[in-house]
Amino acid sequence: MNATGPAVVAEGLTKRFRSFTAVDHLDLRIEKGEIAGFIGPNGAGKSTTIRMLCGLLRPSEGRALVAGFDVGQQPEAVREHIGYMSQKFSLYGDLTVRENLRFFGGIYRVARGEMGERTRFAITMAGLQEREDALVRTLAGGWKQRLALGCAILHRPPILFLDEPTSGVEPEARRRFWDLIHELAAGGVTILVSTHYMDEAEYCNRIALIDRGRLVALGTPGQLRSRHLGGELFEIRCTPLGAALHVLQGAAGVIDAAIFGDRLHVVLGPGGLDQAGLPGFLQEHGVSVQAVRTVTPSLEDVFVRLVSTHHGGQDSS
Amino acid sequence: MSAAAPDITILTQGLSRSFGTVAAIRKVDMAILRGEIFGLVGPDGAGKTTIMRMLAGILTPDAGAISVDGIDVVRDAESVKHHVSYMPQRFGLYEDLTVTENLFFYGELFGVSRRDRLARSRELLAAAGLLPFQDRLASQLSGGMKQKLGLVCALIHAPRILLLDEPTTGVDPVSRRDFWAILYSLRESGVTIVLSTAYMDEAERCSRLALLHAGEIRHCDTPERLKQAMPGALLAVAGPDPRTLRTLIAGRPGVLGVLLMGDRVHVRVDDPARRIPELEALFAGQGITGAVISSADPGIEDVFVALVGTQTAS
Amino acid sequence: MNIRRVFAMAYKETLQIWRDPRSLAIALLMPLMQMTLLGYGVSLDIKHVPVCVYDQENNQQTRGIVERLVSSGWFSISRTLTRQTGIRRAMDRGECIAAIVIPANFSRELAATGSAPVQAILDATDVNTTNIAIGYLQGVVAQINAALDAQWAEAHGVKGSLAGQVELAQSTWFNETLDSRNFIIPGVVAVILALVGAQLTSLTIAREWERGTMEQLISTPVTALEVMLGKLVPYFAVGLIDAVFCLASAAWWFRVPFRGNIITLFVTTALFILVVLDIGYLISVRIRSQLGASQVALLITLLPTTLLSGYTFPIDQMPAPIRALTLIVYPRYYVTILRAIFLKGSGLADLWAPSLGLLAYAVIVIWLAARAFQKRLD
């Protein structure tokens, strides 16, 4: 295994199913110790990409190196060097914590001499010291999820795939989970996260937005926010909301407008309405404005923007 | 129950329910106003689905009272079913029926006239972007389209009250946005919406929230006021090496919480006016350049963790 | 009850049945397959019963009797014995289940008195087979007697005697009843419809639970009765088609004589299908998994139906408590009805008792099923 090269390299990675191109010439480079997020709508090609990188699907074209191994030529070697965990990860509910660990240790062929130390590590990491003999189904969500993580890294994989790892988990437990992930990354493990929940994406160092099999955007969360919205995001408190929305949707300079709770979120591009002009414009149309302020766009705003641009404004589902 | 104020659509008092020895919800009191989008927010297992099912009249509480539109749901569950529309968490429509056939079926069950059904389906399907897929089997729809179809079917009899259990779970952001656009237009027409969600970022879209934890409502207010109730203020510290920044910041005086994000650190401090200069001085002292401190909008998740989270063992 | 909601349920259910052609094909072809298997397999006719012969006289006349046994097709001679004690040994070894002993003075006695005994010793371990073998033996003996009568008549110059014709007629009648198929096949039809019908509906509610559609359904104003009636309508049609298949193959393929009235047959069959479907529905309401419901349906229909419906084991030969128990085994009424319509040509007027039994059953089960369906998750 290459000691200094990137953890994952994809060059022109393509997967076709008959006439349908699920992944279309994807180029990607992920460094060691990086937490990289794959985000995209359902059917965008996210899971096909991950499956190719895990050596479960053979690329139709192009190639990818994972931990230095070619996913098309040496899928077995790739699989030995990765760990995989999802929120719906199948721990066995009717086995105890320790029995689950022993089972996955066997699956991953962890050396007998190392098993004790790895099990202890996983149990400590998950905070399950006093519950080693508890049946897994009796554990709360946060514990289960950390145990699943422990199982996925028993064999010290240099690369770890996480599939929607924290959806629905308690906020406190989720934060603790991401702390663990950041610690693993600090120790040199490369983490690939696949999700369509933007709050999970926020924890990634870099995000690859995939849509219709193509890489649409790549960058840190901050870069995506500042580069890809096409303008600045404003929050407007006004009444009535519906009328305001209607007026703004056709106005010059408005890239996007939508109701958000009891406010409006409006993206203003260059050459049209600006922050100063907004209240007056709305009042002219019979809308009374209470406040206008800039807000930091969420990754979800960026995502929706990028995907709808990419689809020419069509419904993306 | 007769004391319910006219603008209160849903009222629960002391609602409790156990499954075996596990108390799913404990003494839940809620008053939901007409025309609200009321969010039940909490992680999996907090009791969201149990409450939704009881409001829909398909689960009997062990104790407590529920009044929906003046109907005593505990005593007369069947009557409430004419007034509310309930969308379960798991897709509840028939996958082997087409979009139109599902609409026909639910329209008939609620006794919608043919003319109303056709007009309303057309309007709702258009809003959901499902018009081109009318003859498609529900099983052939994507996750987001299925959820939108579920909503359309739930709306076919123009209910005044809508109960949505985790309607956007597994739905991608674009479909989710369409979904919310429909909810907002319903709110405009006076429909009361109760929805549950595990996604804290989604909760911000509701007009009022109940933060649910371990079967109890811990806090209930507008997103705005909940954020104001969060002790301290949230700062974002961006810099070239967030990991080092986080290590430096953790444990400093006045720091209530530190969270390492992908390209920055979120820090909750007691008094930003005092702590920002202190942090800046700290970075300067360590020779760190390029660290930028700015104030950040807290999300509901930050609020949840600050107000609820610390008592949890898991 | 709202007829629109019943119709909507029925329409929806029909579409779902139609969209699942594989299950529909099974529902329609299964009864035909079972008819073939049970119709042939369970037929109680036995060919080539192994017999031992101890012919003490062993002359032309006695050999002629043995020959008649063999040529009837029902018996085959497994061993010819020379000693009485050989019979016990042959039976112990399972070489024969019947032994025919022709006494040494057979011909003399026959000539002298006009009748002579032939002894038949039977292994009664398998009572059923034994009974059938006795029946066959009696048949053969009747044939022999007829032949002897004819010989006698010829020898004494009497032609076309009334007595001789009567013997002949009796012999055909026996032949016909000996074909147990006529008796068994109507029972087979009842058993198959009971099994298949309960299977059809046993899945219908469980499927909604498993697919998650039930939670949505029970949150609407639809009532338990509406759900049940709506669901039964399309399955009733499938059940009737199955019944037509089974009854048609009974009449035309297995050639069971049909002497009754087609309307009587239709009315009683429809009633039976209703009962059978509703039993399946009741199971479905109580058990929320498809696999469990299907197994329970099989369990509670298969054993009682095969054992206690009178389809193979005659009810009037059962001990009194068991006989009382058969009153709740609904297929027994239909078995009785079918046999009566097919073989005796009975009309509704003759069949009021079993028909009333079915009707009572239908009412009770519908009431139970409507009550059992709870629009609740608890």
| Cβ distance of A172 and B305 shorter than 8 Å | yes
Total domains in the fold of chain B: 2
Residues B207 and B244 in one domain: no
Residues B204 and B117 in one domain: yes
Listed residue (C374, C260, C282) closest to C330, CA to CA? C282
Q: Please, which pLDDT band fits residue C141 given cuts at 50, 70 and 90?
A: confident
The residue with greater pLDDT, B76 or C79, is B76
Considering CB atoms only, which of A205, A261, A304 is closest to B173? A304
B contacts of A221 (beta carbons < 8 Å): 261-264
Instruction: Quote the pLDDT of residue B314.
Output: 42
B contacts of A315 (beta carbons < 8 Å): 129, 174-175, 178
Which amino acid belongs to residue B78?
E
Residues B50 and B113 in one domain: yes
B contacts of C23 (beta carbons < 8 Å): none
B225 in reach of chain A (CB within 8 A): no
Q: Which of A249-263, C9-23, C183-197 has the highest mean pLDDT?
A: C9-23
C156 in reach of chain B (CB within 8 A): no
Considering CB atoms only, which of B148, B178, B314 is closest to A173? B314
Instruction: Quote the pLDDT of residue C281.
Output: 93
Instruction: Quote the pLDDT of residue C174.
Output: 29
What's the burial of C130, exposed, middle or buried (CB within 10 Å: 0-12/13-18/19+)? middle
CATH number at residue B265: 3.30.70.260
Considering CB atoms only, which of A172, A196, A304 is closest to B177? A304
B58 in reach of chain C (CB within 8 A): yes
Residue B125 lies in a domain: yes
C161-220, pLDDT tens digit by residue?
433 322 222 332 323 444 567 778 888 899 999 999 988 898 889 899 989 899 999 999
B70 in reach of chain A (CB within 8 A): no
pLDDT at residue C254 tops 90: no
A197 in reach of chain B (CB within 8 A): yes
pLDDT at residue A250 tops 90: no
pLDDT at residue A47 tops 70: yes
Residue after which a domain boundary falls, among B222, B250, B276: B222
| Cβ distance of A198 and B201 shorter than 8 Å | yes
Q: What is the mean pLDDT of residues A112-129?
A: 89
Considering CB atoms only, which of B43, B148, B259 is closest to A141? B43
Instruction: Quote the pLDDT of residue B21.
Output: 87
Q: Please, which pLDDT band fits residue C8 given cuts at 50, 70 and 90?
A: very high
Q: How far apart are CA A233 and CA A258, in angstroms?
A: 11
| Cβ distance of B188 and A142 shorter than 8 Å | no
Range of the domain at B270: 231-297
Q: State the best of B50, B73, B78, B96 to mutate against chain C, taking most chain C CBs within 10 Å.
A: B96
B275 in reach of chain A (CB within 8 A): no
C219 in reach of chain B (CB within 8 A): yes
Residues B43 and B179 in one domain: yes
pTM (2 d.p.): 0.81
Is-contact B237 B271, C-beta < 8 A?
Answer: no
Residue B236 lies in a domain: yes
Instruction: Quote the pLDDT of residue A141.
Output: 78
Considering CB atoms only, which of C213, C221, C377 is closest to B94? C213
Considering CB atoms only, which of C5, C7, C12 is closest to B94? C12
C28 in reach of chain B (CB within 8 A): no
C-alpha of C198 from chain center: 18
Q: What is the mean pLDDT of residues A26-41?
A: 91
What does B144-187 look like in DSSP terms, one character per residue? HHHHHHHHHHHTTT--SEEEEESTTTT--HHHHHHHHHHHHHHH
Those residues with Cβ within 8 angstroms of residue B228's Cβ, 6 or more apart along the chain or in another chain = none
A188 in reach of chain B (CB within 8 A): no
CATH number at residue B26: 3.40.50.300
B contacts of C20 (beta carbons < 8 Å): 96
Distance from CA of B69 to the nearest CA of C (A): 16
Considering CB atoms only, which of A201, A241, A317 is closest to B175? A317
Considering CB atoms only, which of B53, B60, B105 is closest to C8? B105
Distance from CA of B238 to the nearest CA of C (A): 46
pLDDT at residue C44 tops 70: no
The residue with greater pLDDT, B253 or A166, is B253
Q: How far apart are CA B213 and CA B25, in angstroms?
A: 9
The residue with greater pLDDT, C241 or B1, is C241
A297 in reach of chain B (CB within 8 A): no
**Residue C300 half-sphere exposure toward CB, CA atoms < 13 A:** 18
Nearest CA in chain B to C12: B105
Q: Chain A neighbours among B 109-128 (CB < 8 Å)?
A: none
* Domains of chain A, earliest start first: 8-220 (3.40.50.300), 230-296 (3.30.70.100)
B contacts of C377 (beta carbons < 8 Å): 53, 58-59
A276-295, pLDDT tens digit by residue?
888 999 999 999 999 999 98
Residue B3 lies in a domain: no
Distance from CA of B110 to the nearest CA of A (A): 29
For chain C, the chains sharing at least 3 beta-carbon pairs closer than 8 angstroms are: B
Residue B22 lies in a domain: yes
**Residues of chain B scoring pLDDT < 50:** 1-4, 311-314
Look up the ipTM and state it.
Answer: 0.85
Q: State the best of A164, A176, A237, A317 to mutate against chain B, taking most chain B CBs within 10 Å.
A: A317
B206 in reach of chain C (CB within 8 A): no
Residues B289 and B210 in one domain: no
Which amino acid belongs to residue C322?
I
A86 in reach of chain B (CB within 8 A): no
A contacts of B199 (beta carbons < 8 Å): 167, 197, 199
Could you tell me the residue ranges of all domains in chain C?
A: 3-43+181-372, 49-178
Residue after which a domain boundary falls, among B222, B250, B281: B222
Residues B174 and B66 in one domain: yes
Q: State the best of B108, B112, B147 to mutate against chain C, taking most chain C CBs within 10 Å.
A: B108
Residue B306 lies in a domain: no
* Cα–Cα separations (whole angstroms), residue B133 to A19, A175, B100, B136, B194: 22, 40, 9, 5, 28
Distance from CA of B238 to the nearest CA of A (A): 9
Residues B283 and B206 in one domain: no
| CATH class of domain segment(s) C49-178 | alpha beta
Nearest CA in chain B to C17: B96
Residues B45 and B161 in one domain: yes
pLDDT above 90: percentage of residues in chain C: 29
Residue B314 lies in a domain: no
Q: Please, which pLDDT band fits residue C104 given cuts at 50, 70 and 90?
A: confident
C20 in reach of chain B (CB within 8 A): yes
Tracing tokens 């308690």 back to the chain, one arrives at A170
- Which helix (H) or strand (E) is A123 found in, with range? helix A112-126
Considering CB atoms only, which of A182, A220, A296 is closest to B297? A296
B contacts of C13 (beta carbons < 8 Å): none
| Cβ distance of C378 and B78 shorter than 8 Å | no
B contacts of A184 (beta carbons < 8 Å): none
Instruction: Quote the pLDDT of residue C236.
Output: 96
Residue B304 lies in a domain: no
Listed residue (B162, B151, B148, B164) closest to B197, CA to CA? B164
Considering CB atoms only, which of C15, C221, C377 is closest to B59? C377
Considering CB atoms only, which of A170, A182, A221 is closest to B312? A170
C contacts of B93 (beta carbons < 8 Å): 213, 216
Q: Please, which pLDDT band fits residue C63 given cuts at 50, 70 and 90?
A: confident
